[in-house]
Amino acid sequence: MTVSPPPPASAGLVNEPLVQLPPASHPDGTSALNGDAGAAVVPPTDTSFLERDVSGRSVEELCTAPEIYNRELSWLDFNWRVLHEAKDPRNPLVERLKFLGITGSNLDEFIRKRVGGLQRQRAAGVANLRLQGWTPEHQLDLIGKVIDNFRDQQDDCLLQDLLPKLADEGIRLLSYDDLSESQVGDLRNLFLQDLFPLLTPLAYDPGHPFPFISNLSLNLAVEVRDPRTGDVRLARLKAPTDRHRWIPVGPPNHFVSLVNVLLNNLDTLFRGMEVVDAYPFRITRNATLVRNEDEADDLVEMISDELQQRRFAPVVQLEVSDRMPRRVLGVLLREFGLHDQDVYRVKGVLDVAELFNLANLIERQDLKFPSFRPQIPSGFAALSPDTSPDDMFRLLSKGDRLLHHPYQSFARTTQEVILAATRDPKVLAIKHTMYRTSDDSAIVAALAAAAGAGKQVAVLVEVKARFDEELNIHHSKRLEEAGCHVAYGLVGLKTHSKVTLIVRQERDGLRSYAHIGTGNYNAKTASVYTDYSLLTTNEDIVSDVMHLFNYLTGYGQSLEYKHLLVAPINMRDRFIEMLEREIEHCERTGEGHVMAKVNGLDDPRLCEALYAASQAGVRIDLIVRGICRIRPGIPEVSENITVLSLVGRFLEHSRIFYFANDGEPECYIGSADWMQRNLDNRVEAIVPLLDPKLRDEVRDMLALCVHDQRNAWEMRSDGSYVQRLPAALAEDSPDSEANAVRGAQLTLMMQANQHSLY
């Protein structure tokens, strides 16, 4: 239907400032992150409570002292590096908006997990007795200041940098003041037809209890006045969760926020009342719950109950519009049981993570990364769902195949191998681990179909994978109903390994094929996460994988593996043995070299072994994306250690371990980080690359990362990070075409394009 434009807003009702452009951008393009956007940036976190000068400290103290390493702060430092990508002018403008959105998503998860956990400890009266004053309350206070600073920088990045630059390119977030009368009318029609039926305003007064507020939902606290009595009352309005937060209007790439559409149509929801004003807000609930698997009769039932509890978990944070008056904020604080330090007043957008979705709506390919199509490796290009599965397994039987995503296609390699197995009449059994996958997973559908066709299909589904529990339970029920044997892992351990085993009847008997990887069986994340995987028929490795599945699905207690490193059974000890072996080689020959690429490193025993290797003269290159306990460059302790963090277009996710081993190098890939949780509390699998060509290929890739100048941040001995080649210096680089200046990711993309079979 067509209606006339809405009446003028009531006094006090204004456009929400989160969509208004600032008066002017910084004329010199300076960054909120310590000055010039091209400067080498040390994340400006308040870390004065951590010890920076650790020279003279013992190795034991370096590996265990809480005043030297703080996990929460180390994680936040990683998010500062991501935020810098949003400020870096070398990145395309729309991609910078995506990076900013990623920082918001990361921060939401951190607050749910880490801040929520600390608040639970505070409520329980827990204190760290090893460090005087190191209480959860103290940590929350310190971390809260860092988060507030971070959010201020997010707001500044958006309002002072990105929005003005986007506007210069004809991409605008409009307020209602910017709209024509006809555009306002169009939005009124859209509201009445597509939003109004979904909205339920809920009053709050003595006769109406405060409504339930769901986690991370967008809400309006609406003040209305009764014209008969003059009384001002409060109501809550929840924005629909299944509608885009950004609504196209007018010319291409012009948008109005859903918040502003709701704000300017409240008169339709509160007829007969005067809308005084409305203030957006959202809450974050605790994601950490106490779990006792030993007492659970049914793990799936226990996790399902936990998901229900999580919906009603305590609120740990409140974000509000910076216009919200104290009288309204006081009501929210009282109802959520929060204090002033749990509140953040937002100047930019209320949900920074939604900027990622906004970037996807912008139709300007020239302001995005150049399109990239993953390579199809030789041999796989001729294969498709229409070709005989015999062709696939004939290819795999010729030797080990190493796959590198996203530079090589996941769908046409790893996924197609599993799909071929599910439709191959010669395949008798398939065993598979599932940690995280997509809701429309082709692999899950194919495994269900294979079981329905009579194949033996066993799937280990990890229903404890954080934030994927509900989806994994859904997949497990679908697989069970199709006839799959579904197991849920071991009590007290998460199954994090990425392993598939295929058993096939061939002319000379049964033959098994194994796939072991560093990343999840997820076609969506495989396009943006860097991961390696190995396809092999090596009998010893296949035998190890069989024993691993027996350990996961039955009562098999295999403590001896010929090749696999399996946590929590033998992985830490084997790694320490390899580091000690490298020390022996170095003491005898003067040469030793270790390279490792992980997402996190905090295991005290491995850190102690790494320091010992450095003291013996072993050169150690660590590529650690996120949290890291190791301090490099300490005189007489870690002078031979380099710690890098790579942040770029793709999320660095692969776990790789290389040992020079006196001219007989060994290289391993797999699912585990060098984290205490991975080595003690998870079932992990790491496999050696036995083919020298594959080993050399991974070594060369690691060397690219070690020498990366574009995306690398290098840790200093005080624990802070500095960008190796900031934008301002990159312009003056004498060899801008060198691989180091291009960075590892771009170099690998170029190499993939050169070998592309499309």
| Catalytically active residues, by annotation | 496
Between CA 634 and CA 654 the distance in angstroms is: 28
Helix (H, G, I), strand (E, B) or coil at 598: strand
CA angle 189, 6, 320 (to 5 degrees): 90
| Bond preceding residue 406 cis, omega within 30 of 0 | yes
Between CA 580 and CA 83 the distance in angstroms is: 38
What secondary structure letter does DSSP report for 19? G
CB atoms within 10 A of CB 283: 20
Alpha-helical regions (H) of 39-135:
59-64, 71-87, 93-110, 116-124
Identify the CA nearest to 508 among candidates 420, 392, 395, 397: 397
Torsion angle in degrees (nearest 10) through CA of 719, 721, 724, 729: -130
Q: Can you say how many angstroms the Cα of residue 62 is from the centroid of all Cα atoms in its chain?
A: 28
Residue 432 token pair: 């598979």
Between CA 123 and CA 288 the distance in angstroms is: 13
What secondary structure letter does DSSP report for 270? S
Identify the CA nearest to 136 among candidates 151, 152, 125, 147: 125
**Residue 477 · residue 463 · CB < 8 Å:** no
Q: Can you say how many angstroms the Cα of residue 640 is from the centroid of all Cα atoms in its chain?
A: 30
Between CA 151 and CA 146 the distance in angstroms is: 9
For 213, phi then psi, to 5°, come to -115, 120
Identify the CA nearest to 656 among candidates 687, 612, 690: 687
- Cβ within 8 Å of residue 560, ≥6 positions away: none
CA distances from 640 to 522, 593, 632, 719 (A): 37, 10, 8, 16
CB atoms within 10 A of CB 468: 19
Between CA 352 and CA 356 the distance in angstroms is: 8
Pairing of strands 498-506, 494-495: unpaired
**Residue 638 · residue 611 · CB < 8 Å:** yes
| Bond preceding residue 568 cis, omega within 30 of 0 | yes
Residue 4 token pair: 């006339």
Between CA 488 and CA 20 the distance in angstroms is: 50
**Residue 284 · residue 226 · CB < 8 Å:** no
Helix (H, G, I), strand (E, B) or coil at 32: coil
